[in-house]
A and B are shown apart, each in its own frame.
Chain A
Amino acid sequence: AQKVTQAQTEISVVEKEDVTLDCVYETRDTTYYLFWYKQPPSGELVFLIRRNSFDEQNEISGRYSWNFQKSTSSFNFTITASQVVDSAVYFCALSENTDKLIFGTGTRLQVFP
């Protein structure tokens, strides 16, 4: 069965600190997709990244980077030089052959000035 674990319930940092959000997944499929979403205080879900299981290259987008490691079933998200606007709940999610998107419980990130 598919499962996504985000063990960090809440993280607090001071602006300009780097922060890593952990995501561990379980799946029996060889083809699957991993996602990260951001939910700011306004409540909407904002898509950040999608990665398929055959592409283990790390990805960088501005201050955001993602580290995908199949050997440890992890898809971690790092924010470099965090800003107050990064304060949000971040969700990791997994989609396999059924196309259902299964979410982790989320990590609340608070960035203080």
Chain B
Amino acid sequence: DAEITQSPRHKITETGRQVTLACHQTWNHNNMFWYRQDLGHGLRLIHYSYGVHDTNKGEVSDGYSVSRSNTEDLPLTLESAASSQTSVYFCASSESIRGGGYTFGSGTRLTVV
């Protein structure tokens, strides 16, 4: 069965370190998204991609980067982790048709100490 997986599920890192969160989907979806979830803010869009080699900034992109070298993967990199980036991160993918369904990963809980 097709799926979308995130790794790791939990991560503790130190301030200033570079961290990469993985997202892999086997739905063959062109669209992929990264969100962060924080109390009182819901889910906010960090970066998104409509296809290979395409990346776009969301509303909270500062301090994050993504790259899309194939259809299946959209890794999220925190260039220099900050305590404000402690959050739960969700990856999602969707069909590139209007109103297509969105599939979410199980989330990665990141703690920056």
Interface residue ranges, A against B (CB under 8 Å): 6, 9, 31, 33, 35, 43-45, 47, 50, 52, 91, 95, 97, 99-106
CA distance A44 to B91 in the complex (A): 11
CA distance A50 to B35 in the complex (A): 19
Asked if A44 and B106 make an inter-chain contact with CB atoms under 8 angstroms apart, the answer reads: yes
User: Which residues from A are CB-within-8-Å of B98?
Assistant: 31, 33, 97, 99
CA distance A25 to B102 in the complex (A): 19
From the candidates B45, B90, B94, name the one contacting A45 in the complex (CB within 8 A).
B90
Task: Report, as a range, how many residues of chain B touch the other chain.
Answer: 20 to 34
Nearest-Cβ distance from residue B22 to partner chain A, whole angstroms:
17
Tell me the residues in window 71-113 of chain B with beta carbons closer than 8 Å to chain A beta carbons: 88, 90, 92, 94, 96, 98-102, 104, 106-107
Interface residue ranges, B against A (CB under 8 Å): 31, 33, 35, 40-45, 48, 50, 58, 88, 90, 92, 94, 96, 98-102, 104, 106-107
Contacts A43-B106, A44-B106, A99-B31 given: A50-B42 contact, CB under 8 Å? no
From the candidates B41, B102, B107, name the one contacting A101 in the complex (CB within 8 A).
B102
CA distance A33 to B45 in the complex (A): 17
In the complex, the 7 A-B pairs of residues with the closest C-beta atoms, listed nearest first: A105-B42, A103-B43, A45-B104, A33-B99, A103-B42, A106-B42, A44-B106
CA distance A45 to B37 in the complex (A): 11
User: Which residues from A are CB-within-8-Å of B106?
Assistant: 43-44
CA distance A105 to B31 in the complex (A): 23
CA distance A16 to B42 in the complex (A): 27
Closest to B45 in A: A100
User: Which residues from A are CB-within-8-Å of B42?
Assistant: 6, 91, 103-106
Asked if B102 and A105 make an inter-chain contact with CB atoms under 8 angstroms apart, the answer reads: no
A to B CB contacts below 8 Å, 28 in the list: A9-B40, A31-B98, A33-B98, A33-B99, A43-B107, A44-B104, A44-B106, A45-B90, A47-B101, A47-B102, A50-B99, A52-B99, A95-B99, A97-B98, A99-B94, A99-B96, A99-B100, A100-B45, A100-B48, A101-B92, A101-B94, A102-B45, A103-B35, A103-B42, A103-B43, A104-B42, A105-B40, A106-B42
